[in-house]
Amino acid sequence: MCCFSGPVDRVADTSIFARSVENGRQLLVYSMTIATKQDVAMILPLPVPANPPDDAVRFIDLKEYPGFFHDLKLGFPEPVSRSNGFLGIKSAAPERAEPLQVVQVGNFEASFVPTIKDFGRLDARFRLPDQTWDALPAYQGYGFAVFKLKKDASTVHPMAFEFPRAEPKKVFFPTVHIHDGKVHERATFDHALYCQKREADKTSLPEWRESALPALRFMKIEKTQGIIDGGLHCYLRKIRGDQKNQDTLA
């Protein structure tokens, strides 16, 4: 799921990469283009274990590799899919006095919000109200990666991080659509999802297309900071049209 702390005029060119790593953790890279008239935050709910610490998420700076998804597409002939959506968010009253850590990650300020109640520890401009999540019981146990975007941002470099998972056997893609604070049963999808899996695990990807070559043939591996395994092939799945509105697992 992706949502914003205020109104945005346009979101497009959404691409997501995911890969499992050791100790039940997962790497996730998210990229898009955005048009907004004010500073907003992008909020990604994450299926983390219960009661994660404030430092459970490790943010990765990909400022020096803005072409991450451009290169990733070289393994496949089709263009990256597009998606649209926005969510207007209000402020919520703080639950704790201690503020959450803010990390400078390239052109972003990023924070990890361990639970819904911890939004009160975040900058007031970028909080999610409790009532938004009352209608989303499936996300009550989630944590949240928050990236603060500037109003003059257009094409932003990929946002990347590593997080612990409650379900370590599946890779997670935040694909639920939220519009006007509501999640509808069905939504129009146009997403490009990428992942890597070991040879023994790729049988779980029947709807995914495999790259013809291993990643080291089309990615600048040294710039990925360990996100991409150069020896593995990549997989692509495009989700388009009217679909059940839900996150994606692989």
State pLDDT tens for residues 27-62.
999 998 777 777 788 889 999 999 999 999 999 999
Residue 143 CB-density burial (10 A; 0-12 exposed, 13-18 middle, 19+ buried): buried
User: Which range is least confidently modeled, 14-23, 24-33, 52-61, 180-189?
Assistant: 180-189
Share of the chain above pLDDT 90, in %: 46
Instruction: Give me the torsion for CA of 203, 208, 210, 211, rounded to 10°.
Output: -150
Of these ranges, 19-33, 68-82, 143-157, the one predicted with the greatest mean pLDDT is: 19-33
pLDDT score of 56: 97
pLDDT score of 26: 98
Kindly tell me if the per-residue pLDDT of 173 is higher than 80. yes
**Pick from 81, 65, 92: nearest CA to 221:** 65
Kindly tell me if the per-residue pLDDT of 87 is higher than 60. no
Q: What is the pLDDT of residues 54-64, one digit of tens each?
A: 999 999 999 99
Cα separation, 128 vs 40, in Å, equals 12
pLDDT score of 103: 80
DSSP one-letter string for 144-167: EEEEEE-TT--B-PPEEEEEE-SS
pLDDT score of 1: 62
Host domain of residue 25 = 3-249
Q: Write the CB contacts of 48 (distance below 8 Å, at least 6 apart in sequence).
A: 56, 114, 142, 143, 163, 164, 165, 166
Q: What is the mean pLDDT of residues 77-83?
A: 53
Q: What is the mean pLDDT of residues 131-146?
A: 84
Residue 237 CB-density burial (10 A; 0-12 exposed, 13-18 middle, 19+ buried): middle
68 pLDDT tier (thresholds 50, 70, 90)? very high
CATH number for the domain that contains residue 70: 2.60.250
CB atoms within 10 A of CB 207: 9
Q: What is the mean pLDDT of residues 224-239?
A: 96
Kindly tell me if the per-residue pLDDT of 70 is higher than 90. yes
**CA within 13 Å, CB half, 40:** 26
152 pLDDT tier (thresholds 50, 70, 90)? low
pLDDT score of 62: 95
When divided into structural domains, the chain yields a total of 1
Q: 10 by DSSP, 3-state: which?
A: strand
